[in-house]
């Protein structure tokens, strides 16, 4: 009854709020008219091309942090123009102290929160929902991402574009060229959503061209008009790859050499609709997962890192579900439960937008493995834009990549967003429902969810309700807890003092409840952060208290060693954490959490140290220790990683990751030497080495893999 009442309340609120009018009205949107370039500029970061003198100029930026709406302390001048094939952007980023400009990242695609940066976002359908993010630092290092539904970042997405930067006597400058071949757009419209931003890390100052309440989501971007007669050529990308591999089993003394060619094709049927094909797909050089330690009886969630599945990944997102209950999770394809790669014979994908409709379809042929036959897998996703900023859609999947059972799923969702909710605040909401069909499971195979949220700067609050029935089985998705109803609510209040050492002071409380279908409590957690403090340098600290209640229905083993028997447990936990600002060359994170844990105690200590000696060398050490004492015994888990990145320049890099986990008694080394002469062309040498650790802490090597991959993008 409580679940039904809460769901009905969320639905009623969504319907009521959907009648509101947008506060961020069309008349308030900033805009400019773009001009066509007389000649193509040389992308070198010098801004000395004559062509820039005739470009549209944007210089009316304002702060969002620290003081919303205030004039920036440094001037930014952006110039924009286009020709048949490229959108060109030049930014002159003045700085009164050029020697203090931070540019410590030289590896393409890596995050650079520690660096001064400039970015542009493009809503090429002017949907006010989704956009592309292109970001660059003073070294010319590029980073791109998708932003979907005004709420979700897909940071692993990648495409081809060009940027070069240069530091000069008055600051730094960057030049960007974005090929129209790299993005989707509607040829019927000459108006796109667009925004520009700048970050000055030493001041923790961020400025935007267009924003609302410190937010820069697509709903608050400005507009650029006058984009006409642009070309994508044939719209064809041909990406052949060659992978030379040596796999050595050091325990058995076996060795295998292989030569694996693969081919990816991307064809833009229209400027807004793309077909992608992959043959003999190879993922052996994808980034390795960072190891995690399970501290409960539920499966861990790892993000997708493979390029084929990340292309237009946002279109397949459903209901803004983070983990449990996702109908589609691409990591289920081509990977066994223990993370071993499974061959993919081939695949095809169709993604894009047609008018107000967003469509995605994925078909994969997964090869046989173990006792599972070769499998055909299919996903279809569609949605229609409604109510200004909202969308209604469906999803369907068919196939089980992990067994020979028949499995299918249907789902529908409504994503709501209103930029002018009560008091002009943002209001978002989700409603979704799914049903799976699995061989041998005939009922109780549905899942439902509702979320109402106000994600604003000063006051942020949410209300959530979900039901996942016992036999709900999204074979192409992710579910780690079924036969439950989940409720959640939380409030965060922030103040921003005008004076003093604190940039912001935060207070937060969250409550989560999980019950069985009869309403009996399975998990209950109250989490209170009475205070969280952020300094003007970006340092952050907080303290937290948790009250927990857990009912364990089936006994399980923690760390595969300590037994937690059936029973009801109540315990409190306390946490304190400090993290120094991202802009510091030497960054430290310290966290201590202590208190009860089921019918025992757990002390967790976390330490992270990141040292950026220069743009050419960085070192990051992370250590997690969990000291657990239960009636069944005690164990101290250690999880450690050491990352060393060497950048010879912005094209050559060598990244190394060493990981140690005493829960499984393993050590793993991943070493990646990468050469990117320009976007779309890559040579990569990857070495993976694994070892076991015995009781005397002696290492015994188990395997060694060497992969050399060459890929080249031909664009037509």
The pairs formed by 464-467 with CB atoms below 8 angstroms and a separation of 24 or more are 464/488, 464/489, 465/3, 465/6, 465/7, 465/10, 466/325, 467/3
Name the band, by pLDDT with cuts 50, 70 and 90, for residue 336. confident
Q: What per-residue confidence (pLDDT) applies to 1?
A: 46
- Provide the pLDDT for residue 446: 97
- Look at residue 187 and tell me whether its pLDDT is greater than 80: yes
CB 419 within 8 A of CB 389: yes
Alpha carbon distance 646, 654 (integer Å): 5
Look at residue 97 and tell me if it is in a domain: yes
Mean pLDDT, the chain, rounded, equals: 90
What pLDDT, on the 0 to 100 scale, is given for residue 16?
47
Identify which has the larger pLDDT, 16 or 580: 580
pLDDT of 24 > 60? The answer is no
**What average pLDDT does range 669-680 have in this prediction?**
93
Give me the pLDDT at residue 388, please.
78
Tokens of 366: 């997964």
**pLDDT value of residue 634:** 96
Higher confidence at residue 3 or residue 240?
240
With CA atoms as reference, report the closest residue to 688 among 661, 664, 707, 660.
707
In a domain, 101, yes or no: yes
| 411 vs 66: CA distance, rounded Å | 42
Q: Domain for residue 586, yes or no?
A: no
Average of pLDDT values for 3-8?
48
pLDDT at 288 > cutoff 80:
no
Predicted confidence at residue 423, as pLDDT, reads: 61
Measured CA to CA, the distance from residue 74 to residue 95 in angstroms comes to 6
Q: Which residue has the higher pLDDT, 61 or 538?
A: 61
Residue (of 89, 98, 141, 99) closest to 117 by Cα position: 141
Q: What is the spatial distance between Cα 345 and Cα 636, in angstroms, rounded to a whole number? A: 43
Split at pLDDT 50, 70, 90, the class of 526 is very high
Per-residue pLDDT at 25: 58
**354 pLDDT more than 90:** no
Structure confidence at residue 231 as a pLDDT band (50, 70, 90) = confident
| For residue 449, pLDDT beyond 60 | yes
Contact 107, 653 (CB under 8 A): yes
Which two structure tokens, joined as six digits, stand for 201?
Answer: 């890390």
Residue 3 has pLDDT above 70, yes or no: no
Does residue 66 have a cis peptide bond before it, meaning omega lies within 30 degrees of 0?
yes
Token couple for 635: 């164990």
pLDDT at position 28: 72
Write out the residue range of the structural domain in which residue 204 sits.
Answer: 34-225
State the CATH number of the domain containing residue 211. 2.60.40.1190
603/588 Cα distance (integer angstroms): 20
In this prediction, residue 644 carries a pLDDT of 97
The answer to whether residue 455 scores a pLDDT higher than 50 is: yes
Minimal CA–CA distance to 524: which of 564, 545, 551? 551
Please tell me whether residue 100 adopts helix, strand or coil conformation: helix
Looking at residue 290, what DSSP letter applies?
P
Let me know if 565 is exposed, middle or buried by CB neighbors in 10 A (0-12, 13-18, 19+): middle
pLDDT of amino acid 14: 47
φ/ψ region of 440 (left if φ > 0, alpha if ψ in -120 to 50, else beta) reads left
In a domain, 201, yes or no: yes
Least confident of 272-281, 415-424, 448-457: 415-424
pLDDT band at residue 27 using 50, 70 and 90 as cut-offs? low
Give the Cα-Cα-Cα angle 367, 368, 369 (nearest 5 degrees).
Answer: 120
Please check whether residue 674 lies inside any domain of the structure.
no
Is 186 a domain residue? Answer: yes
Residue 387 forms part of a structural domain: no
Alpha-carbon gap, residue 285 to 319, rounded angstroms? 31
More confident residue, 605 or 147: 605
Q: How far apart are CA 153 and CA 579, in angstroms?
A: 23
Distance CA 67, CA 85 (A): 39
The DSSP annotation for 594-635 comes to: EEEETTEEEEEEEEEEEEEEETTEEEEEEEEEEEEEETTEEE
Domain count of the fold of the chain: 1
The CA-atom distances, in angstroms, between 332 and each of 58, 185, 271, 338 are: 45, 30, 30, 11
Please indicate whether residue 149 or residue 356 has the higher confidence score (pLDDT).
356
Is residue 344 helix, strand or coil?
strand
HEC assignment per residue over 361-395:
EEEEEECCECCECCEEEEEEEEEEEECCCEEEEEE
Contact 208, 216 (CB under 8 A): yes
> Does residue 176 lie within any of the structural domains?
yes
Strand partners, 182: none
Q: What is the mean pLDDT of residues 190-205?
A: 95
Q: Which residue has the higher pLDDT, 13 or 68?
A: 68
pLDDT per position as a tens digit, 426-442: 889 999 999 999 999 88
């Amino acid at each position: 009854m409580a679940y039904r009442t809460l769901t009905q309340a969320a639905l009623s609120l969504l319907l009521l709020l959907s009648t509101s009018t947008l506060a961020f009205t069309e008349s308030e949107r900033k805009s400019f008219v773009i001009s066509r370039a007389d000649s193509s500029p040389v992308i070198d970061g010098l801004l000395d091309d004559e062509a820039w003198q005739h470009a549209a100029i944007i210089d009316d930026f304002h702060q969002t942090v620290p003081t919303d709406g205030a004039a920036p302390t440094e001037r930014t001048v952006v110039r924009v123009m286009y020709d048949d094939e490229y959108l060109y952007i030049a930014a002159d980023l003045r700085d009164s102290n050029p020697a203090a400009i931070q540019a410590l990242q030289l590896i393409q695609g890596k995050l650079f929160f520690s660096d001064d940066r400039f970015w542009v976002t493009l809503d090429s359908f002017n949907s006010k929902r989704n956009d592309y993010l292109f970001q660059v630092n003073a070294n010319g290092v590029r980073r791109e991402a998708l932003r979907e539904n005004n709420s979700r970042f897909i940071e692993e997405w990648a495409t081809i574009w060009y940027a070069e930067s240069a530091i000069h006597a008055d600051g730094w400058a960057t030049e960007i060229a974005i090929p129209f071949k790299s993005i989707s757009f509607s040829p019927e419209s000459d108006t796109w959503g667009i925004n520009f931003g700048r970050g000055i890390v030493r001041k923790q100052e961020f400025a935007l061209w267009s924003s609302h309440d410190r937010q820069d989501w697509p709903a608050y971007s400005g507009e650029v008009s006058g984009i006409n007669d642009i070309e994508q050529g044939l719209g064809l990308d041909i990406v052949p790859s060659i992978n030379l591999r040596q796999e050595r089993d050091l325990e058995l003394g076996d060795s295998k050499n292989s030569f694996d060619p693969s081919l990816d094709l991307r064809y833009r049927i229209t400027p807004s609709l793309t077909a992608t094909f992959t043959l003999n797909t190879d993922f052996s050089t994808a980034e390795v997962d960072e190891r995690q330690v399970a501290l409960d009886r539920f499966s861990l969630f790892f993000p997708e890192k493979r390029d084929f599945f990340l292309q237009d990944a946002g279109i397949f997102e459903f209901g803004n579900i983070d983990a449990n209950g996702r109908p589609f999770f691409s990591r289920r394809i081509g990977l066994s439960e223990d993370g071993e790669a499974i061959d993919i014979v081939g695949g095809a994908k169709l993604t894009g937008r047609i008018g107000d409709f967003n469509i995605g379809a994925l078909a994969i042929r997964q090869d046989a493995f173990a006792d599972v036959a070769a499998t055909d897998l299919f996903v279809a996703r569609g949605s229609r834009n409604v109510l200004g900023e909202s969308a209604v859609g469906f999803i369907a999947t068919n196939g089980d990549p992990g067994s020979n059972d028949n499995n299918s799923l249907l789902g529908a969702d409504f994503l709501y967003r209103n930029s002018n909710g009560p008091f002009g605040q943002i209001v978002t909401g989700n409603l979704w429902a799914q049903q799976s069909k699995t061989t041998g499971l005939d009922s109780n195979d549905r899942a439902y969810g509702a979320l109402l949220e106000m994600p604003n700067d000063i006051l942020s609050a949410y209300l959530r309700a979900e039901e996942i029935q016992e036999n709900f089985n999204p074979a192409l998705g992710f579910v780690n807890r079924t036969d439950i109803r989940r409720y959640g609510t939380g409030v965060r209040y922030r103040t921003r003092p005008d004076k003093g050492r604190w940039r912001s002071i935060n207070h937060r409380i969250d409550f989560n409840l999980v019950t069985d279908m009869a309403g009996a409590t399975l998990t209950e957690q109250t989490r209170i952060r009475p205070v969280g403090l952020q300094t003007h340098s970006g340092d952050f600290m907080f303290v937290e208290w948790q009250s927990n209640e857990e009912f364990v229905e089936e006994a399980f083993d923690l760390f595969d060693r300590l037994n937690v028997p059936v029973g009801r447990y109540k315990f409190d936990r306390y946490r304190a954490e400090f993290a120094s600002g991202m802009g510091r060359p030497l960054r430290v994170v310290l966290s201590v959490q202590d208190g009860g844990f089921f019918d025992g105690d757990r002390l967790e200590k976390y330490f992270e140290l990141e040292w950026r000696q220069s743009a050419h060398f960085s070192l990051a050490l992370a250590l997690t220790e969990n000291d657990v004492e239960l009636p069944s015994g005690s164990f101290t888990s250690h999880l450690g990683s050491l990352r060393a990145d060497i950048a010879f320049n912005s094209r050559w890099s060598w990244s190394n990751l060493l990981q140690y986990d005493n829960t499984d008694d393993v050590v793993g080394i991943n070493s990646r030497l990468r050469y990117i002469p320009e976007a779309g062309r890559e040579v990569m040498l990857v070495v993976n080495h694994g070892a076991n650790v015995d009781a005397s802490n002696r290492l015994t090597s188990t395997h060694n893999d060497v992969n050399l991959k060459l890929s080249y993008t031909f664009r037509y």
